[in-house]
A and B are shown apart, each in its own frame.
Chain A
Amino acid sequence: MDRTLRRTKEFIVEGLIFLSGITSILFVVLIFVFLLKEGLSLFKEYPAGQFLFGTGWYPISEPPRFGIVPLVCGSLIVTVGAIMIAVPVSVAAALYISELAPVKIKDFLKAGIEMLAAIPSVVLGFIGMVTLVPFVRSFFHIPTGLTALSGSIMLAFMAMPTIITIAEDAINAVPKPYKEGALALGATRWQMMYKIVLVAASPGIIAAIMLGIGRVIGETMAVMMITGNSAVIPHSFLQPVRTMTATIASEMGETVYGSEHYFALFALGIVLFIITFIINFIADLFLHRKKI
């Protein structure tokens, strides 16, 4: 009697844990199915080729045009810019924190980085809007400071905590014998760091960069506030751009449920989902790759 009760309890608890365990997967699948169902509905009425390769995004003109090239380009240029700024700074910071900084400074810096990660993106966007945007405008003498460059700089701040934290883990994991071996051969600390430590940590650093890219490309609020939201194919960093995320966020509220525009935004969501999925997948490959 007692035993059957215990077994039933076990069974229930295990079942609950199992359910919790698969919840995340379940949600991802449900979201993807929902995205696909809504997004693919677009292509019943609108040709996929024009969606993927069209160069104009005019959702409310007559007839509407849903070419996502300017939006994809907008996301790409902001991301590329942000990564170009964030990667050198972050990798250098990670090297400093794990190899050079005294313990006190190290703790202080790590706390600071966590703080940076904790700032809501809308706050960063707001700060960017009132400080960075006027600065960019007057520094480059351009008509508006709402540009891809402004977006890149703000997003670099958001990507930095991710990149620093993961790159630092990778650098910390470099076996001590490698470092000792290099120093014992007469390498200076700097030679040891860039010839051995960075090389040994490179898979982890690449993973960190990929996750940073994932963070940047999916960011919405700050870019919506400071990139100017003009859906044209950008030719330079000093032009306003509009990203995929900002498009979805700003237009979703104005569409009619079930309209072509509504479906187009979901289709855009699929594209974004696929891009971030690929980036995370690559990051995972590098994170779990065996040492050379």
Chain B
Amino acid sequence: MKKITTEDLNLYYGSFHALKGIGMAIEERRITAIIGPSGCGKSTLVRIFNRINDLIEEVRITGKVLIDGRNIYEPDYDLVSLRKSVGMVFQRPNPFPLSIYDNVAFGPRIHRMAGEGDLPGLVEESLKAVNLWGDLKDKLKRSALNIPLEQQQRLCIARLIAVRPDVLLMDEPCSALDPVATLKIEELMTELKKRYTIVIVTHNMQQAARISDETGFMLLGELIEFDRTEKIFTAPSDKRTEEYITGRYG
């Protein structure tokens, strides 16, 4: 099943052509990695899938982005429900300056998904899904800003899971973490792909090779190659992909 499909997708920042004719199809319940050198447009691409790019002034987008068969750039597409079903994890963990409990309960509260009585159960379930419940269950009232970075990033994932999304976009989710924490987050992603479609942007090729099922390689705003991860890393069909994964530039 294809979850996200793009057709001739172009994005301009003012006059700068940042994404050039991207066409790709992302499989449901898989991890899809987008790799490429910095500035190639990979973050811009995932930020299209939840329309968080809309916040930037002077952005212009042409082409189609279909999620579950509907173009999310249709004028009457409901942004709130889009962002509820397509969650995003950012480069630096960004828990809100609230308690751990309120961080997880934020989404369910704004979407009125549960009464205050059902919230504790939902919070517990979400924290369990990211393996944080054991560590944090006695600290739920404490500020989310005082826990280690890796736990903060997990908390941000739990915060998304609490609103029951289908897709998780991860924009270099481990770039602020040390190698051990990175491995733990990767394990978590592998677990999560049983239930969610995950798109991860990473500049770390080993990470893409370790966790993803499919990989897209981007260069200067173009999607050069998009294929099964083993194929990209063992027998890429484009010369530029080969040069990048063998470390000749980037």
CA separation between A180 and B80, bound complex, in Å?
13
Quick check: A185 and B145 within 8 Å, CB to CB?
no
| B-side interface residues, number (CB < 8 Å) | 28
Contact with A along B67-83 (1 / 0, CB 8 A): 00000000000011111
Are A184's CB and B52's CB within 8 A?
yes
Let me know if A15 is at the binding interface, CB within 8 A. Answer: no
Which of A18-26, A193-201, A227-235, A239-247 forms part of the interface with chain B? A193-201
- Taking a contact as CB atoms under 8 Å apart, the answer to whether A292 and B145 are in contact is yes
Chain A nearest CB from B177 CB (Å) reads 16
CB pair B55–A183 under 8 Å, yes or no, is: yes
Q: Dominant SS at the A interface?
A: helix
Q: In the complex, A191 Cα to B106 Cα: how many Å?
A: 10
Contact A200 B96 (CB under 8 A): yes
A182 to chain B, nearest CB (A): 7
B55 & A185 in contact (Cβ 8 Å cutoff): no
List chain B positions with a Cβ less than 8 A from chain A: 50, 52, 55, 79-84, 87-88, 90, 92, 94-98, 106-107, 110-111, 143, 145, 156, 159-160, 163
Check if A196 sits within 8 Å of B96, measured CB to CB. yes
For the complex, what is the distance from the CA of A183 to the CA of B163, rounded to whole Å?
13
Decide: B88 and A178 in contact? CB cutoff 8 A.
Answer: no
Measured between alpha carbons, how far is A184 from B54 in the docked complex, in Å? 11
**In the complex, residue of chain B having the shortest beta-carbon distance to the beta carbon of A181:** B94
Q: How large is the interface on A (under 10, 10 to 19, 20 to 34, 35 or more residues)?
A: 10 to 19
Q: List 29 A-B contacts (CB under 8 A).
A: A177-B90, A177-B92, A177-B94, A178-B96, A178-B97, A180-B55, A181-B90, A181-B159, A182-B96, A182-B106, A183-B52, A184-B50, A184-B52, A184-B87, A184-B88, A184-B90, A185-B84, A185-B110, A185-B159, A185-B160, A186-B80, A186-B81, A186-B84, A186-B107, A188-B80, A188-B110, A195-B110, A196-B96, A200-B96
Query: Apart from A188-B80, A196-B96, what are 20 other A-B pairs with CB-CB below 8 Å?
Result: A178-B96, A180-B52, A180-B90, A181-B95, A181-B159, A184-B52, A185-B83, A185-B87, A185-B107, A185-B110, A185-B159, A185-B160, A185-B163, A186-B83, A186-B110, A187-B110, A191-B110, A199-B96, A291-B97, A292-B97
* Residues of the A chain whose Cβ atoms lie less than 8 Å from the Cβ of B111: 186
Tell me the complex Cα distance, A178–B94, Å. 6
